[in-house]
Each structure stands twice: as C-alpha cells, then as structure tokens.
C-alpha cells in the first residue's frame, strides 16, 4: 500500500522541470567544446521562467496548506512565495554571469547546470515539511554551492573559498543533523507538525534531549544564514568566489536558509518559543552590531558587502523574533527586497571587474558619476536601500521589521537595529563619495557593461524603487507567506 | 553498566563526534579534515540507529540511509577540492598563508 | 566461562566494538601518514557497522560496509595515492589550536555524557517492528526499503539529484585541464 497517490508527483512539476533544465544544460555542455555562455544563459533563463510560471499555475494554493507525498512536502503560501523569490534571484544571477563565465576559461554548461540544480534544492527546501526532506534538499543546495564557489579552480582565491565553505558547511551540517537526531530520539517524529505536537511530552520524558537537540539544530541553521558568531566563513567565501556566485549565495542561498529557519522554528518548535526568542534576540543583536562594525574598516567592496549581508541577516532575525503575523510577513517582504538590492549591488561590482578579480576596491568607484552617470545612480539607489533610506524597498522593509519587533515587546533589539543602520551609512556612503566627489585616475577600471548586465541592474533598480514607492501589493503578496503561529 | 541501553550508544556517538570535531579543528592536512567530517557524520548514524531501536520506528534507519548518501557525496566533492588545491599549490595543507585574510 | 559469555555477551561485544571504534577514531586524527589515518578510519567504520548490527539495523550495517568501507574509503585511498600524500613530508601535523581544542573536546564529552547518562534508561521497544511490515516479519532490509520507497520517496529522489551534483563536482573540480 503506497502511502500516497503517485499522481501527487505532478504537483512537483516546477521542481521537476528545473531539475530537467539542469540536466539539459549538463548535456548541452558535454557536447563538443561546450555550449557558449550566452546560449547556456538563455537556456537557463528559459527554464527559470517556465518553472516560475508552473509555480504560479500548478498549485492551487488555498487557505489551507496541502501536504503531499507522505507529508514530506507542503504546498502553502509560504513555500510559494519563497520559491518565486528564489527563482527571481537565480534569474538575476544568470544575467550577471553571462560575461563572467563566458570570457573566462571555464565552461558555462556545468556552471549553469549547477546553478539550476542548486535552485532545485532550494525549492525543495522551502517546501519541505519533514526534517529529512529539508535536510537532504539543504545538502543539495550546499553541495552545489561549494562547487560553484570553487568554480574558478585555477584561481587560488576561488579554491580557498570552496575549501573554507566546504569545511565549515560540512561542520554545520553535521551539527544540524546531530541536533535533528536528538529531537527525533526525544519525540519519535520527523514531520514538523507531529514533532511540534510531541514536544511538550518529550520535554518531560526526554529530559535534556530536547534542549540539546534544538540548540544544536539552531546552531546549524544559524551557520547557514551566517549569523554571528557562526559567520566566520562568510567574508572569505564571498570574496574568493566568482562574483556572480557570491551574489547568488548572498541572495538566494540566504533566502532559502532563512525560509527553513523560520519554518522549522515556527511550525516545528512552537512550544519552545520563549526559549528560542531569547536566543534569537541575543544572536540578532550581536549580528547587527558585529556585521556593521566589521564593515566599517573594509576597503574591498566584496568583503564590505559580505559583512553587510551578515548585518542584514541580523535585521531579518528581528521579524522571526517577533513571532507575530507582521513579523513573518516583514521577513518575507525584506527578503524579497533584499534579493533585488543585493543582486544589484553585486552586479555593479561585476561591471567594474576585470580578469576575474580586479576592480573590487572602493577606490575603483572613483569618478563613476562622470564616467557612467546611470550606473552611478543605480549604485546610489542600492546604497540607499542597503542603509534603509526612503524611497527604497530597503527602507520599507526595515520599518516593518523594526515595528514588528517593537510591537512584540522587543524594543531594545529594534533600537540596536536603528543605531547600527545609522552606522552603516558611513561605509555605504564611502562608495557614494568615491563615485560623486572623487576623480578617476588612469588606474581606475572602466565600467564594462553588457546587455544582460544592464538588464539585470535595471531590473534591480526598478524593483527596489517600486518596493519602496508602491509597497502595498507586495506587502499583500508577502502576507500570503504566513504560517500558523503558536 | 552491563545492561547496554540507548544511552550507551548516545555517549559513544558523541565521543566519536567530538573526536571528529577536534580532528577538523586541529589537523592541518585537508585529507584528515575530510576524514574527520566523515567520522562526525557516521557518529550521527549511531544516534539514529539507537533511537530507532528504542522507539521501534524505522524512520531513524531511513534517515541514516540519507546521511550515508550525503557523506558519500560530500567526500567526493571534498576530494575534488583537495585535488584542485594540490594542483594549485602543490600541498594539501590548509593553513599556509594565502591571499585571503581573516 | 560460557555462563559469563551468554549472560553478558551483549555488553562484552558492545564494549569491544566501542573501544575499537574510539581507538581507531583517535588514530584517524593523530597519525602522521594519511594512509594510516585512512586505514584507521576503515577500522572505525567496521566497528560501527558491527554496532549497527547489534541494534537490529541489518540493512544499515551492510550499507555501511559497502558504501563507507567499499566506496568512500577506496575513494580516499585512491586520492591519497594519486597525490602521493603518503610520501609528502608534513612538517607540522597540528596547528596551534591543539590545547584549546582538546580542552573543549573533553568538556563537551563530559557535558554531553552527563546529558545522556541522566536520561531514564527505558526499555527498548519491540524490535520486531524493525523487521516487519503490517505485522508480518519480512526482514529488516525489506522493511526499511518499503518505508524508504513509500513514505520517503521524495527525499530519495532529491538524494539522487544530490549524487548527480556530487559527480559533477568531482569531475569539474578534479579533472586536469
């Protein structure tokens, strides 16, 4: 007796299509001398768009979440929202990769195949409803990411990035897994809802198994979102990996990791809410403080953006901390905005980069306002959004995150958020100062755009401004990404 | 002491996990670091098997199958990174000073 | 003597295999020659496989032997020989964090040991559940396989994509070009 109707697999059509896309690119890349970068990118985009359309049409997502496939997968508003955000992030990554992977001596077929397969992993992650499904999908995403980080294997920096990412990633996976095993031992359940139901009794009969288990699980999850003090891998990996891969890690990977963090905490561990709120409050505070302080002294833009992305993880944690309806949709909204902002910022870094790694210093932006006024303006929009200044999506997102925290009674954490955002103004605007107030010299790299890159930057700018000026419909969209709260 | 219970397996599991963790942190040769990771993942399986037996539930054993799968996959990629490292720098030691600072 | 063995057989076996596992694990992280570390790791895997068998995880015990012993270890040994790692002279085995790591390791073992030993020692459940389907005894392999292919079919499929990515990674990163 099968546990479910095999036709339920049809509801996985988006993920299946994307996996097929990955396979198609792999096959295309294995023919002859490999597939040219532009062809691979077009093919990737085709599959990403088709998958997004399938996500919108295949699942009739009603108000009630629908569990399928032996309850290892769920179709709800939460999963659907995050799948779309992740697909958008991947599509933008593909656009900014075009010149990068094409020029270099590295094959585009496998690169795009790995991107699509990593994204497939992310889609399974956000729809997973069972610790096993979530974990195996997480490993799929992580493994693809390790390879992508080391893709420029003849560059020492890339290899070292892959190495650090792999070792620390595997460590965090092992810790996460260990915690999950303890929770399984205490409750006998791996399904999130049954786990939640079994927790109260397990806390009595299992004594210290439950606290130990969820703490280790949390450590593993917090590693994945790069919260302090589990962030040590981020700066070196972000700097060493090829820039489009860095952008992908900062945006899509972080979004997917946050999605599972939220789902596991809210749907799997609701009884432990008071405990995890304390932990999240502490982690969020040190993350915001340390991320912003460390960014102050950076002169390498990629490293600065790495610390900035660590700090942003801190802001997003505020929404989870609130554990309220507004808390959850503010997390969703912010991750949506953050995807576009981050990809835009990294796209700007790609514009200035030469021979894979030149052009990453803040001083390389000198005089950009005169050399390429539209690009400088785009960068200015991203910098405003990252700091959280109107009229950008970054501002709106932060307002709601802080409001959610205050409303839930965590005002002091929100205050830390506001103060650290103010500090971040200094380092983000050091770039703006270079662009508008300094002169370029002979050594400053010329911005080299391409149609794909321009399209990506333009999309990100428009998205950031639209989210800031007309947030209404997007807030409604984010509100669909709700979860039943304890 | 003479009655072997789940707790015995858990303690042994954590001892192996801790040994792997120490190995990952202190050894300078990447190949031994990779072996330490395998050790850690295997020790989680001990937990899962022990709990599966106690709870009379097969889910733990099934989860262990997936763990073994992931360990195998990660070993393959880890060794790939090691080969790339070796070809780049002629060594598999991981704390030789490099271009990336902390 | 026979009485001793039959009464405490399980304990003797457990402690024997546990000791083998721990000693060889320590060997993995402390031996100089990576080849010896790899062989030591193999011993650990064998000991753990035996422990699996003692807990009615027959399929997993065998899978452990085939995949870990026959697959992963062979992979490690091949790479060690490919790179001539067993001939390289390593100047320092350990980095400077040994004292802290050891102290932390011991503390953690003590902490977790206390957590686990303070658990109520409950009687194990009916282990025939581990070898039966719908009340009929079919053997552990069939029982695990059934659950794997029905309730956990989706993770199974995701695992297959995972293995594909592992292959891509091994080739992309490992090939000489």
In the predicted model, residues of chain C with pLDDT beneath 50 are none
Provide the terminal-to-terminal Cα distance of chain C, rounded to the nearest Å.
64
Give the global pTM: 0.94
Cα-atom radius of gyration of chain B, to the nearest Å? 17
Quick one: fold of B13-90?
Answer: Helix Hairpins (1.10.287)
Residue C119 inside a domain? The answer is no
Which of B12, B33, B63, B72 is the best residue to mutate to test the A interface, defined by the most A CB atoms within 10 Å of its own CB? B63
Q: Do C165 and A69 touch (CB under 8 A)?
A: no
Q: How many structural domains compose chain A?
A: 1
Residue A240 inside a domain? The answer is no
DSSP annotation of C66 reads: I
Residue A253 inside a domain? The answer is no
Query: Contact at 8 Å (CB) between C21 and B16?
Result: yes
Residue A332 inside a domain? The answer is yes
In the predicted model, residues of chain A with pLDDT beneath 50 are 1
Q: Do C29 and B76 touch (CB under 8 A)?
A: no
Q: Using CA atoms, how far apart are residues A168 and A113, in angstroms rounded to an integer?
A: 24
- Domain ranges within chain B, ordered by starting residue: 13-90
Residue A362 inside a domain? The answer is yes
Q: What is residue C133's predicted lDDT score, i.e. its pLDDT? A: 73
Q: Do C147 and B45 touch (CB under 8 A)?
A: no
Which of A27, A120, A137, A204 is the best residue to mutate to test the C interface, defined by the most C CB atoms within 10 Å of its own CB? A137
Which of B33, B43, B53, B102 is the best residue to mutate to test the C interface, defined by the most C CB atoms within 10 Å of its own CB? B53
DSSP code per residue over A159-211 = HHHHHHHHHHHHHHHHHHHHHHHHHHHHHS--BHHHHHHHHHHHHHHTTTHHH
Distance from CA of B100 to the nearest CA of A (A): 6
pLDDT digits (tens, 9 = 90+) for A228-239: 899 999 999 999
- A297 part of contact set with chain B, CB < 8 Å: no
B contacts of A162 (beta carbons < 8 Å) = 81, 84
B contacts of C90 (beta carbons < 8 Å) = 28-29, 93
Q: Do C158 and A162 touch (CB under 8 A)?
A: no
Q: What is residue C88's predicted lDDT score, i.e. its pLDDT? A: 67
Q: How many structural domains compose chain C?
A: 2
CATH number at residue C47: 1.20.120.1200
DSSP code per residue over A256-316 = HHHHHHHHIIIII-GGGHHHHHHHHHHHHHHHHHHHHHHHHT--BHHHHHHHHHHHHHHHH
- A213 part of contact set with chain B, CB < 8 Å: no
Q: What is residue A61's predicted lDDT score, i.e. its pLDDT? A: 62
pLDDT digits (tens, 9 = 90+) for B30-58: 999 999 999 999 999 999 999 999 888 89
Residue C52 inside a domain? The answer is yes
pLDDT digits (tens, 9 = 90+) for A62-88: 666 777 777 788 888 899 999 999 999
Share of chain A above pLDDT 70, in %: 95
DSSP annotation of C93 reads: S
- Partners for B (CB, 8 Å, 3+ pairs)? A, C
Nearest-by-Cβ selection for B4 from C14, C59, C88: C14
- In the numeric block, the tokens 């049409």 are attached to A57
Q: Using CA atoms, how far apart are residues A169 and A373, in angstroms rounded to an integer?
A: 40
Residue A285's domain comprises: 269-486
pLDDT band, residue B10 (cuts 50/70/90): very high
- Domain endpoint, select from C72, C91, C110: C91
Residue C138's domain comprises: 128-177
**Residues in B 49-88 with any Cβ partner in C closer than 8 A:** 49-50, 52-59, 61-62, 64-66, 68-77, 79-84, 86-87
Residue C1 inside a domain? The answer is yes
Query: Which element (helix H / strand E) includes A319?
Result: helix A301-322
pLDDT band, residue B69 (cuts 50/70/90): very high
Do C71 and C154 share a domain, yes or no?
no
Query: Which element (helix H / strand E) includes A48?
Result: helix A37-58
C contacts of B52 (beta carbons < 8 Å) = 55, 57, 130
Q: What is residue A435's predicted lDDT score, i.e. its pLDDT? A: 84
Do C138 and C74 share a domain, yes or no?
no
Residue A275 inside a domain? The answer is yes
In terms of Cα–Cα distance, which of C115, C98, C62, A136 is closest to B14? C115
- Domain endpoint, select from C91, C118, C148: C91
Phi, psi of A392, deg, nearest 5: -105, 165
Nearest-by-Cβ selection for B33 from A160, A167, A239: A167
Phi, psi of B29, deg, nearest 5: -95, 125
- Quick check: B102 pLDDT over 50? no
Where b means 16+ CB within 10 Å and e means fewer, C51-72 reads bbbbbbbbbbbebbbebbbeeb
Query: Which element (helix H / strand E) includes A75?
Result: strand A73-75
Q: Do C51 and B77 touch (CB under 8 A)?
A: no
Nearest-by-Cβ selection for C151 from A70, A124, A140: A70
In terms of Cα–Cα distance, which of A378, A285, A277, A386 is closest to A334? A386
Which of C23, C30, C42, C55 is the best residue to mutate to test the B interface, defined by the most B CB atoms within 10 Å of its own CB? C55
Nearest-by-Cβ selection for B63 from A132, A150, A156: A132
Q: Is A362 exposed, middle or buried (0-12, 13-18, 19+ CB in 10 A)?
A: middle
Sign of CA dihedral A469, A473, A477, A482: positive
Q: What is residue C123's predicted lDDT score, i.e. its pLDDT? A: 67
Q: What is residue A102's predicted lDDT score, i.e. its pLDDT? A: 67
């Amino acid at each position: 007796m099968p546990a479910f109707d095999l036709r339920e697999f049809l509801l996985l059509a988006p993920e299946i299509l994307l996996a097929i896309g990955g396979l198609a690119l792999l096959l295309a890349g294995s023919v002859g001398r490999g597939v040219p970068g532009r062809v691979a990118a077009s093919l990737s985009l085709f599959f990403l768009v088709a998958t997004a359309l399938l996500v919108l049409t295949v699942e009739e997502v009603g108000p009630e979440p629908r569990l399928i496939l032996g309850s290892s997968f769920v179709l709800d508003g939460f999963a659907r929202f995050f799948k779309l955000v992740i697909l958008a992030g991947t599509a933008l990554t593909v656009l900014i990769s075009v010149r990068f992977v094409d020029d270099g001596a590295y094959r585009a077929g496998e690169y795009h195949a790995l991107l699509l397969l990593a994204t497939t992993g992310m889609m399974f992650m956000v729809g997973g409803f069972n610790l096993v499904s979530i974990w195996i999908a997480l490993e799929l995403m992580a493994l693809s990411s390790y390879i992508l980080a080391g893709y420029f294997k003849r560059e020492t920096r890339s290899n070292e990035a892959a190495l650090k990412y792999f070792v620390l990633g595997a460590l965090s996976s092992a810790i996460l897994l260990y915690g999950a095993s303890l929770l399984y031992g205490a409750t006998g359940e791996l399904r999130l809802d049954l786990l939640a139901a079994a927790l109260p009794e397990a806390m009595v009969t299992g004594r210290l198994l439950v606290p130990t288990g969820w703490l280790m699980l949390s450590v593993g999850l917090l590693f994945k979102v790069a919260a302090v003090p589990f962030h040590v891998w981020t700066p070196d990996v972000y700097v060493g990996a090829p820039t489009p891969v860095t952008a992908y890690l900062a945006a899509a990977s972080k979004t997917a990791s946050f999605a599972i963090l939220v789902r596991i905490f809210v749907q799997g561990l609701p009884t432990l809410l008071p405990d995890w709120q304390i932990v999240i409050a502490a982690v969020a505070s040190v993350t915001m403080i340390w991320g912003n302080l460390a960014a102050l002294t950076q002169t390498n833009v990629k490293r600065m953006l790495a610390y900035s992305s660590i700090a942003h993880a801190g802001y997003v944690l505020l929404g989870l901390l609130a554990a309220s309806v507004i808390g959850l949709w503010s997390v969703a909204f912010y991750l949506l905005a953050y995807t576009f902002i981050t990809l835009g910022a990294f796209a700007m870094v790609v514009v200035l980069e030469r021979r894979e790694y030149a052009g990453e210093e803040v001083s390389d932006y000198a005089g950009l306002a005169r050399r390429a006024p539209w690009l400088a303006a785009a960068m200015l929009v991203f910098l405003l959004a990252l700091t959280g200044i109107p009229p950008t999506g970054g501002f709106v997102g932060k307002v709601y995150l802080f409001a959610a925290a205050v409303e839930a009674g965590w005002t002091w954490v929100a205050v830390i958020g506001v103060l650290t955002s103010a500090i971040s103004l200094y380092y983000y605007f050091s770039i703006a100062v270079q662009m508008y107030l300094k002169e370029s010299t002979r050594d400053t790299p010329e911005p080299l755009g391409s149609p794909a890159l321009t399209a990506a930057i333009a999309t990100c700018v428009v998205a950031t401004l639209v989210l800031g000026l007309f947030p209404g419909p997007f807030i409604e969209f984010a509100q669909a990404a709700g979860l039943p709260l304890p | 002491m003479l009655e072997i219970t789940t707790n015995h397996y858990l303690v042994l599991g954590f001892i192996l996990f801790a040994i792997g963790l120490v190995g990952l942190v202190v050894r300078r040769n990447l190949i031994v670091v990779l072996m330490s990771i395998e050790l850690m993942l295997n020790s989680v399986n001990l937990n899962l098997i022990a709990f599966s037996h106690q709870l009379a539930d097969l889910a733990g054993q099934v989860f262990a199958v997936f763990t073994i799968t992931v360990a195998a996959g990660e070993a393959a990629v880890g060794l790939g990174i090691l080969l790339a490292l070796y070809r780049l720098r002629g060594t598999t030691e991981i704390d030789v000073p490099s271009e990336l600072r902390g | 003597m026979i009485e001793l063995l039959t009464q405490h057989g399980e304990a003797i076996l457990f402690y024997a295999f546990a000791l083998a596992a721990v000693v060889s694990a320590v060997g993995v992280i402390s031996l100089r020659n990576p080849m010896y570390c790899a062989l030591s790791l193999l011993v650990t895997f064998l000991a753990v496989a035996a422990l699996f068998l003692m807990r009615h995880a027959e399929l997993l015990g065998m899978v452990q032997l085939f995949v870990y012993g026959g697959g992963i270890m062979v992979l490690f040994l091949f790479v060690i020989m490919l790179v001539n790692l067993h001939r390289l002279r390593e100047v320092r085995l350990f980095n400077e964090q040994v004292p802290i790591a050891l102290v932390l390791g011991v503390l953690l073992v003590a902490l977790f040991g206390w957590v686990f030993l303070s658990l109520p020692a409950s009687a194990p459940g009916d282990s025939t559940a581990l070898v039966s389907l719908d009340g009929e005894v079919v053997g552990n392999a069939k029982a695990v396989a059934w659950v794997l292919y029905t309730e956990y079919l989706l993770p199974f499929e995701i695992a297959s994509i995972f293995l594909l990515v592992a292959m891509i990674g091994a080739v992309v990163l490992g090939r000489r070009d």
